[in-house]
Structure 1
Amino acid sequence: MLSSPADFLPGLALALAIGMLLGVERGWSMRGEKPGGRVAGIRTFGLIGLLGGLIGIGLAGPSQILSLLLGGGAIAALLLGYRGDMLRDDNVSATSTIAAILTLGLGASATTGHMALASVGTGAAVILLASRRGLHQALQLTSEADIKALLRLILVVFVILPLLPNVGMGPFDALNPQRLWMVVVVTGAISFVGYGLARWLGTGRGALVTAVVGALVSSTAVTLDSARHIRDGGANAAAEAAVAIASLEMLFRALLLVALLAPFALSPISALIGPGIAVAAAATAVLLYRCRGARLEAGTKPPKAPGLGLALLFAATVATISLASAWAEASFGQGGGALVIALGGTADIDAAIAAVGALPPDALPVRSIALAIAAPILFNTLFKLGLLLAVARSRAPWASATLGATSAALLLPILIKLS
């Protein structure tokens, strides 16, 4: 039982706020209808939210049967109102009725100890309800290729991924099916988001936005997707700039992760990859200048819906690198030192830096640790260059030159350090 107002007032206030918020959105959306012509307006939604809160309080006490009767009666009244509205105006839209029933449930959640869930659910519901026009326009512009691309992504993320075991398999137990499939998930998701942005913003601008957002997850996946766009005859200037942006973002992200996970190595790492950052930044500025303004879209083909072929090939490559890393660990002792970290980080820089951060303080000299992080950054840049040349071939000279120059700028300090 709730012993004082402080026990129930916060949840009840949230339940009322939920009802009012959803009521404001519904009232605005249906502001053109005459008074009394709606099943539920702003006041009714507020009362429904409040009723949901009271039902939640009752369910936690001795009035469970009464609370269930109140909830059932409220839902029945809403359904009867919807039926009358449908018969009167031939209006078959059930959005407001379902929103009202949802408000009842969210209000009950607010007073049963799930205030965060109720708040998040309300925000999601308001955004979804307010997006009616945009969603309908998107559906009208959606093609069969778009639906097939979406279904492929759903298959990859929601069907296959949960079924895969999260255990090491194969030689050295180096192949984890679920982690390897995550490579396909990340690559496929970035490709799909990039495709959607290209349809919305245009091929060129969509490629640049995808690079900025996608490189936060995987600069290699962005490079692979950009190479696919170039191969298919997309906006070459923007796709090449996207490669440079992703590479530069990877370098800055690596420095940030070192500062957070291995701060003792920040100074030597900065000295090793600083020249690479300078070269990548200069090249990015040049490539962005090439694709500026309205000419960004000139002479480009419509974007092509992404497939999964390149993502699967990328996953196979990562599996090969994982096997090589496991072999190095087995051959060169526990942890494998700098060689294992360098090999393992070729496809995943974050993993290499995290591995360094997890090492005991005196496991490796600072010089070796710096090289262990700088080497996979170099290998990753060369890996992306190889992917770009393999997929786009000679159609991306500027991006290839950028990755090549960045690799050279990373290699030189490493050679000097080793000498």
Structure 2
Amino acid sequence: MNIFEIINNPFGTFVLGLLVATGVGSIIGLEREFNTHHDVAHLGGLRTFTLIAVTGFIVGTLAQQTHVYFLLAGLLGFIGLLSTAYYIQALNQRLGLTTELGMLLTFSLGILIAYKFIQEALAAVVVITTILSLKEQLHGIVKKLTQEEMSAFIKFIILALLVLPLLPNQTFGPENSINVKDLGWIVLVVLTFSFGGYLLLKFGTPNKGILLSALIGGLFSSTMIAWIFASRSREKPEYGAVYGAGIVLASSVMLVRVFILCSIFAFPVAKLLLLPLSLMLFTSIVPAFISWRKEEKAQTGAIVAGNPLDVKNALFFAGLYIATTLLMYYSREWLSESMVYATAAVTGIADIDAITLSTAKWASQHTDQHRMAVNLILTAIFSNSIFKLSVSLIRGVPALKIAALKGFGLVIATGLLYLLLS
């Protein structure tokens, strides 16, 4: 009898579930043991959580063999036990609920495993352990939050969990190419990039310099970074090469953004873009890193984080997306193919994300046009890169111009070579 035959028989299934439950309880228990061992009143550790997970597994297994009421009785009994333990702890002035909730979740995970939701239980244990282990970091972040940032976080949760699910799944426009719920997702994606970049900038390394500002600023707008850094290079010409490296690095974030957006809205297009984007990313990072290493000690003030949740900007982007979608549709209907690419190039100068989203959504509805979608997105990337290179050459100091030429020159050459050979 091989290992698969053993696992697939009833006893083997039970043993496998028991081992998984033991592992799940051990992981959470190890975290609790490590973080609460100094507290003489700590409620449980490695052994306790392991036994709780195993108990939950056994209760779930017996419930399947008897009646669901057995599961209900076991769960209520465990909650009663926890409530008693919490009451005793409260008498000793210990009012935290974290460990008790961790125990209840561990018991529930044991039940999930008994019902063969093993992958779901393993995913949940990763989330639970991460949250439990980040106590100090989460408390530190909360202490640093301002009223504006807390309000922004609440608005973000409301938009993501309450407003978005209520949007109708209704289409309009030519070929029903625009969907109301999709517009909601687009706004949420833009807000996520913006809010995530803001938090990284606020809670990142204290010694924020050009590199960090470029990488995080690239989440907002790499074109904005090119404009700002080129201007700053005139104020501090000695940092020209570093500013140039920063512009190229910010633009490399744009390439990552393009891949993520395509993966969300048209994964087949993202797969076709993976190779050219990877090559362009590599050819932008290497020269930028070389320029950065030459001026490794150069540091300067970071870009101001700005509004933590710029809803107006996200709504403006949604409008830009609609305009780009209509523009690309009518150019495909009325103009020649070469003019369609010209339209993509012009649109790409204004905003690369809008043309990426519009083209990805169009390609998801026209599965025979994936290759054209890839070429349109690459064309927009080229025009956007050329525009940022032009800004660097016009507004930057000589050292910045050289760094920008190396980075963008290799990126554009690599992309064009891929188009010619594909």
Q: Normalising by structure 1, report the TM-score.
A: 0.71
* One-letter amino acid matched to 2:20: L
Asked whether 1:179 is paired with 2:182, we answer yes
For residue 74 of structure 1, the aligned residue among 54, 61, 78 is: 78
Name the residue aligned to 2:381: 377
Q: Secondary structure at the match of 2:37?
A: coil
What's the CA shift for 1:192? 1.5
Contact kept, 8 Å, 1:342 with 1:373, in 2: the verdict is no
CA drift at 1:12: 1.7
Aligned to 1:18: 24
Report what 2:265 is aligned to.
none
Alpha-carbon deviation of 1:262? 8.1
Alignment partner, residue 52 of structure 1: 56
Distance 2:123 2:359 in 1: 35
For 2:102 and 2:179, locate their aligned partners in 1 and report how far apart those are by CA, in whole Å: 43
1:181 positional shift: 3.8
Which residue identity lines up with residue 193 of structure 2 in the other structure?
A: I
Runs of 5+ unmatched residues, structure 1 = 215-220
How far apart, in 1, do the equivalents of 2:404 and 2:146 lie?
36
- Equivalent residue, structure 2, for 1:7: 13
Q: What is residue 305 of structure 1 aligned with on the other side?
A: 307
The equivalences for 1:278-293 within 5 A come to 284=288, 288=292, 292-293=296-297
Aligned to 1:201, what secondary structure does the other structure show?
coil
Q: Is 1:42 paired with 2:46?
A: yes
* 8 Å Cα contact 1:55/1:68 also seen in 2: no
Partner residue of 1:162?
165
Residues 287 and 406, structure 2, Cα contact 8 Å, conserved in 1: no
2 CA distance for matches of 1:178 and 1:309?
A: 18
CA displacement at 1:7 relative to structure 2: 2.3
Aligned residue number for residue 223 of structure 1 = 222
SS at 1:305's partner residue?
Answer: coil
Q: Percent identity among equivalent residues? A: 21
| Aligned-residue offset at 1:280 | 5.4
Could you say which residue in structure 2 is the equivalent of 1:30? 36
**Could you say if the C-alpha distance between residues 68 and 148 of structure 1 is closer, same or farther in structure 2, counting changes exceeding 3 Å?**
closer
Residue 25 (structure 1) shift: 1.4
Residue aligning to 2:334 = 331
Distance 1:142 1:224, change over 3 A: farther
Q: Would you say the 8 A contact 1:156–1:184 is kept in 2?
A: no
1:128 to partner: Cα distance: 0.7
Gaps of 5+ in 2: 1-7, 260-267
Match of 2:320 in 1: 317
Amino acid at match of 1:303: A
Cα 1:395–1:97 shift into 2, 3 Å: farther
- Aligned to 1:325, the other structure's residue is in SS state helix
Q: Which amino acid aligns with 1:11?
A: G
Q: Indicate how the Cα distance of structure 1 residues 342 and 40 shifts in structure 2: closer, same or farther if over 3 A, else same.
A: farther
Matched, 1:261 2:300: no
- Paired residue type of 1:62: T
8 Å CA contact retained: 1:241, 1:288: yes
Moved more, 172-181 or 340-349: 340-349
After superposition, the Cα gap between the structure-2 partners of 1:178 and 1:196, relative to the gap in structure 1 and judged at 3 Å, is: same
CA contact (8 A) 2:325 2:359 kept: no
